[in-house]
Chain A
Amino acid sequence: MSAHAPAAPKTRTAPPRPPSGFPLGFYRYRNYVLFAATSVFMALGCFALLEAVYALSRGEAAWNAWLAAMAKPHFLVLSTVILLFTLYFAFRFGWVGRKIGAGRIGPVPRPPLPMLVLGVAPLGGFVTLWLILLAVLAGVLR
């Protein structure tokens, strides 16, 4: 065929079909959706935290008002949900870290040290930093 021959018209195709059980019919896809949803709740948590810091900066009365508002039942429920999603996010993050750390995931057993060090150390540090930050915040906001 000549290089300048017109391209043959493309055959009509049927659109791609989603994987079977997507998005909520299969546990791995449910986990994927749940993991994506953590972003919404963690954003809400961050917003609440910023509001707390803002209230703290405006003096004791504002801080107490914020505490009183947060003690209402619907905020307590929301805080619990945010906490659960944050814990789920941390669990998933750690799970992925385990994958990064293990250089050999398939049949070859030897984990190469550089991947282990580069993978586990920063993630361990990240989680430790978060725990320290949470402890400091808990101490400040207590």
Chain B
Amino acid sequence: MELRKVKFEVLRFRPEQDDEPVFQTYEIECMEDWVVLDALNAIKDDVDPTLSHRWSCRMGVCGSCGMLVNGRPVLTCAAFVRNYSGTIRVEPLSNFPIVRDLVVELDSFVAKIKSVKPWIIRKIEKDVAEGEYRQSPEQLDEFKQFSMCINCALCYAACPVLANEPDFVGPAAIALAHRYNLDSRDEGNAERFEVLDSHDGVYACSYANECSQVCPKHVDPGGAIQQAKLNDFLQWAHLLPKRSFT
């Protein structure tokens, strides 16, 4: 297979020695079918073992390897080197503090996801012996798209609102909240209303829609937020019931 020499500019931050992040250039030979993640692994294995980056499944499922490639948030396991020309610039996800090199701190992201209670809330749990909660294909269709999120945080890296307002709940968390609010088995939209209707909730979004553009799973969190705004308004106006039993 053909090899091609490619130059990579990688943002490095080693807290023990760097005051601020700096770019470091690597030039390596890449195979035709390599993705950017393969190149980063090759750099770490053969050139510079101190380079730090996250990855796991290598097939766009785990959402660990999100980074900026030439300024755009992508899963590096799905970004083919052959699709880029010239020097490829790799940076950690924007809008997140950098722990080391390409590794960002996701504490705030996880906290925001948790804040919208992304699980099914029931007044009374059915006994296991009574069987599963039944749902029709139409009821599943209502939320299925929004359940495809892999929590890769690319939408947070693309969001201009988060650049201005770091406390904004953010696209993935709101899409997830909306997913559970649309679920026929769920009875907890009043709990989520508190978060979605807050100052940092749905109305902070003015729909730049870049989150939906970068989403690798076509969840369309931007669309989910706009629908969540409508739901929120209808709940606020008591036109939609608030289901709260907890």
Contact = CB atoms under 8 A, between A and B. Distances in A.
Interface stretch (A29-37, A68-76, A132-140): A29-37
Interface in A104-142: 104-108, 110, 112, 115, 118-119
B104 to A, nearest CB: 8
A103 B158 contact: no
A interface, size bucket: 35 or more
B169 interface: no
Contacts of B144: 108
B94 A20 contact: yes
B15 interface: yes
Given A14-B98, A28-B210, A31-B208, A118 B223 contact: no
Contact of B227 (A23, A36, A100, A110): A100
Interface string B117-137: 000000000000000000000
A119 B105 contact: no
A12 interface: yes
B40 interface: no
B226 A100 contact: yes
A13 B209 CA distance: 29
B110 interface: no
Nearest to B89: A20
B20 A14 contact: yes
A24 to B, nearest CB: 11
A16 B97 contact: yes
A106 B220 contact: yes
A110 B137 CA distance: 12
A138 B229 CA distance: 32
Interface stretch (B2-10, B27-35, B159-167): B159-167
Contacts of A59: none
Nearest to B211: A28
B21 A14 contact: yes
A112 B163 contact: no
Interface string B79-119: 00000000000011011111110000100000000000000
B137 to A, nearest CB: 11
A102 B234 CA distance: 17
A13 B206 contact: no
**Residue from B21, B158, B209, B223 whose CB has the most chain A CB atoms within 10 Å:** B223
A43 to B, nearest CB: 16
Nearest to B100: A11
Given A11-B15, A106-B145, A96 B72 contact: no
A17 B13 CA distance: 13
Contacts of A22: 94, 160, 163
Contact of B213 (A28, A96, A105): A28
B97 A14 contact: yes
Interface in A28-50: 28-29, 31-33, 35-36
A100 B145 contact: no
A6 interface: no
Given A19-B158, A96-B226, 17 more contacts: A14-B15, A14-B20, A14-B98, A16-B97, A17-B21, A17-B94, A18-B94, A32-B160, A32-B206, A35-B206, A95-B207, A102-B223, A103-B227, A105-B145, A105-B220, A108-B144, A112-B141
6 contacts: A17-B21, A18-B94, A22-B94, A33-B160, A99-B226, A100-B229
